[in-house]
Amino acid sequence: MSQPRLHEQLISLFSERSSRDLKACLEHPDFTAFMREHDLQLPLEELVLAFTHTSFSHEYEVPHQELSEFFGDAVVQLIITAELMKRYPAEKEGRLSKLRSSIVNEKTLAQVASHIKLQEFILVGKGEFKKELYLQDTVLSDTFEALMAKIFKFHGLEFASAKLLTWLTNSAPEAFNLDKLDNFDSKSKLQEATLAKYKTLPRYSADILQEGFLVKLWVNDSLITEGVFPSKKTGERELARKVLENKDF
């Protein structure tokens, strides 16, 4: 009989709460397979620590990822900053800072994490598992940072940098494109404004038309503005810019 996948083993643990099932989760071969796939050589317990959410830690009294995440955030910041300096040595600090923020943020890091399927390895508590917490951007990005901390610790900066940049390029190929700053700025500024005013984020929808994309911008389930654009990204950027200029939200 084949070994159940990690999350299948978690379900068994939630049902039985046995030390045998806990050990099977913490030493699951899926973790070893992940290291083999990505050419990593880490102590198993250190890798598992990076994947252990606080909810699982509290239920089963095992160490969690928070300090690794704290350290990993600094590792990611350093690698991205160095790459930006390499790519744009003559660019202004302000624009590089904004571009770095567009990369080192919850959404982008969660995108990278999903690309390498970290969601399949995250250990969360029983209630959080039912809510699929392991699929949320916050948890994915935190886990990715914790993983980068472990890679840095056991493989060094050069290896960690190469691994991060490869994953980032494959999952978000436009990440280092300076042209995307306008899009990031207008959308992020609108997010900040709606969070401050309504405690909610704006929402975009897009329908394909013969002449392009009909993009709509919603706040609090109310349609604020819409327009037809050549791409969804362009539409979202332009609608956010328009709403910010007119302050009609």
Q: Could you list the active site residues?
A: 73, 145
Label residues 152-176 b or e (16+ Cβ within 10 Å = b). Answer: bbebeeeebbebbbebbeebbeebb
Phi then psi for residue 132, to 5 deg, are 55, 45
Asked whether 182 and 237 are in contact (CB, 8 A), the reply is yes
Q: What are the residues whose beta carbons fall under 8 Å from the beta carbon of 164, sequence distance 6 or more?
A: 76, 79, 80, 148
Residue among 120, 154, 163, 160 nearest 140 (CA): 120
Q: Would you tell me how many other CB atoms lie within 10 Å of the CB of residue 225?
A: 17
CB atoms within 10 A of CB 117: 10
